[in-house]
Structure 1
Amino acid sequence: MTEPANRIRLPGSKVYGVLWQLLHAIKRYVDDLILAVPQNEIDNTLRVFNSYDNDIQFAVEREQNNCIPFLDMLIHRDQHNKLATKWYGKSMSSGRYINIHSYRQNRMKLNLISALKARVRRQHQDRAIDFLVKELKVCTAKEAEERIFFISAKEVLQARLAEQCHTVLTPLTDGFQTRYFEFQDFERKFEECISKSAVKTKFEQHSQRGRYIASELRDILDGIYSDALKLKEEKLMQRKELTDKITYTEQQLIIITQEMKKKIHCMVEDVEQRVSKALNEEIRRLSSLVDEFNLPFHPEPLVLNVYKKELHLHVETGLGSNLRARLSTALALNMEASQREMTERMNTLIPENHKAASTVILPRRQPFEILYRLNCDNLCADFQEDLEFR
């Protein structure tokens, strides 16, 4: 549309030499020219052009409302001095280009049709982009280019009816396949647009409510998960502590059990030694114990058996009471000391918060008593008395 002044090529150098500093842009088609000059230099520029040749006189058409016609275009200049074109026809225009039955070459006719179609497409596309980007402000220029389609629904309908074996009267024109692909792209994007619009208008509140509920639920579940992790860590720590305590207690129980077994073994040996020593001493004093038996003696066999049983009972009772008097106190003290030591050792293994309950399971504090049973009947079973005097 425009051409810098340093690229102007006019016949003769007279006009160029005078106007080259004034002309900001110039475009020429045959004898029609469009120029960009300062407002106060329009008359001077016209005078220079008309002074070139008296037989060639130019008429001037000024810009009105920031618009000026040139050939079949209406050029509009916006506030930023950006130019835009529209299709323009003069009032005297017949609207004809080339008669289809003229003798011009067919390629010229086809080129004219293609040029007009491209021009219509470009102008509509530019207008649609300006409408979407500048007026509605719903998208960018790049996005607007993908939302503008030049399609024929009637042509596509006829093609689809033909695919279903219906009779179609109008034949398909050249370039249909390209237009059909563009229509399919339009259908797909239009379906997406309708779906998004339906979601925004009909389901947007439900979707927002669903997102809010899902977000709240996620926060709740995250909190539960965090609490569960903390509780798990605490329980694992408690489990480890309990496992360590149980292991330590088992080891201490094994050690205490071994020590107590040794203690009991020593106590048994001590009791055996004490009882053996005391029994030997009592056996040496057995004669005095027999002398204390004052039941009358009679040689009759029946009375003699009764006498022997009573004697055995007297000896057994006397030996038992003597052994009890000599050994019970020392053995009881030793037993209580050992029992106290075992209890204290076991109390050290009981936690502080359970020591109060340990009194329930502690052994009863009853006096320790040792029973001595000699069973003189069995000891004297093979005894044969000799009642004859010699």
Structure 2
Amino acid sequence: MVEDFKSLETGVRPRGLLMRNNTHSDLIKFKEAKHELQKIFAEIETYIHECQQFFKEKLSEDTGKRLSPAFGNTGADIVSFIDKVKQIQGIISRNQMKCAFFGRTSNGKSTVINAMLGSRILPSGIGHTTSCFVQVQGTSESQGFLQQESVSDSTSNSEAQSLSEPQSIESVSQLAHSLSSAKLATDSLIYIYWPSSSCHLLREDVVLLDSPGVNVDPDMDSWIDRHCLDADVFILVANAESTLMQAEKDFFYRVSSRISKPNIFILNNRWDASAGEAELADQVKEQHMQRCVSFLTDELKVCSVEEAMERIFFVSAREVLTIRSKSVNGETPPGSAPNIGSPSARGYPLAEGWQARLMEFSMFEKVFEKILSESATRTKFASHTEQGKEMAAYFRKLMETTYEAGLEEKDAAIRYRRLSQARLEELRTKLQKATQTIDDLISKSLLDVEGQVANALCNEIRRLGELVDSFGGHTFSPDNEAALKAYKIELNSFIERELGKKLADACAGDIHSQVVRAEQIMAGIYSSMLTEEAAKNRIMHSVLSSSFEPEFHVDCRNICAEFRENLKFRFSLGLSSLA
């Protein structure tokens, strides 16, 4: 490491670093990435809603289960994804770039933040001034204000957090200043909302976190857990008049154990003390640089030597604050407290070489903005990006599965339709043949029945005389037309009734057997066309349960309607006949 360090001239920045232009494009990248990610998740949300509508209207749960078991819980899964997207959108909208400042008491952490903001917002000055955590972030309001975080322990050992009512910005001196009688606990947090229009850092969603000295409270683990795990950049504000202290190193050892390769800057503040001692200043600067590089590369192992050289600066935050305060003609944004903690209302006197220290501070801000934007974009959005990719992949696979299942269903329906059409044509052919066969069977049965009934009727007609003779007990007078007519009606009724009985006795059994046999033949023909046993059984059951009893009716009145009887007596056995 020593050889690598010596290969880089002390205090000389890489050429690429010195060529950076004086813009804030690096911070804009974070907002652009944030805006783009919000658009992406808005599109994902729209797509999920479209999928939900599709499954609700086009693919019911029962149909989905029939197509694929994967569609069984699709509705509930989609609802959970919608909730997840809304949660991520809320997190993204609240995401900001966060920078945490740490160091020993009176190293100038608050002054550095004030210099970066260009206003005396935080209490600063000699001695231990900041007694708790103070977070500065932008607001769209024209008036600055602050809110205090209150934490209460519940019975379940969990912490419930809430914010107090907005207070005037001047009250920060009473709440956060260690010299005030109304001091807060060291791990307490005060939110200062400063007008974004007054500082480009706040305008670009940068949050600056000030802290008490690392040598104030030994319980630094709780500090890290509560306030530092979401920080994108850590700035160690060291005192250039001394060297790195063990308390400062111990704190960042703990940070490094909880956060993988944190981005750490080291500001050797109060470098204006070296003014007028050029030779000694160079030696001290080289010593500080070597120790800081060794701390970052060898002890913490968070970066390379080249990267460490870009993250170590020698500045005077008090000079920068004085210069920037004067640049606004002594005016500050509404709601500010210009003289809080300042050593002199007239400003801090500038020492020799202040231009170089001002340029060094500006260079620090450029590198800080670049690394902060890159780190915040990576840490704040990387996991959400992966979740978005997973959601998109899930719904792509879901819709592809749906599409493939739909194609399979369509192909199956086409195959079924073709089979049904072929089956229908086959049934039509069989039905035509069956119809012809049944027509022939009916015609043959009809001829057989007609022949059988005709023979039986002929036989009975031959014995008609006997049947008429059996109609006894009825008399009539030939001269009485009414009696004759009544006799004829009774005779016809008697003949019809008796002929019907005789024909039934002669033909009913054979006709019934022939009809049953024909029905069975018909049922067999139709059963052969069916594939389901239940349908076949229903046809056969209907045949077995049918009852057919033939009835015979002979209409003698119509048959004898034109018959005219002659009942006059004619003597045919005379003398002329005998001759």
Higher RCO (C-alpha 8 Å, min separation 6): 2
The bucket for the TM-score relative to the shorter chain is: 0.3 to 0.5
Whose Rg is larger?
1
TM-score between the two structures when normalised by the length of structure 2: 0.33
TM-score between the two structures when normalised by the length of structure 1: 0.48
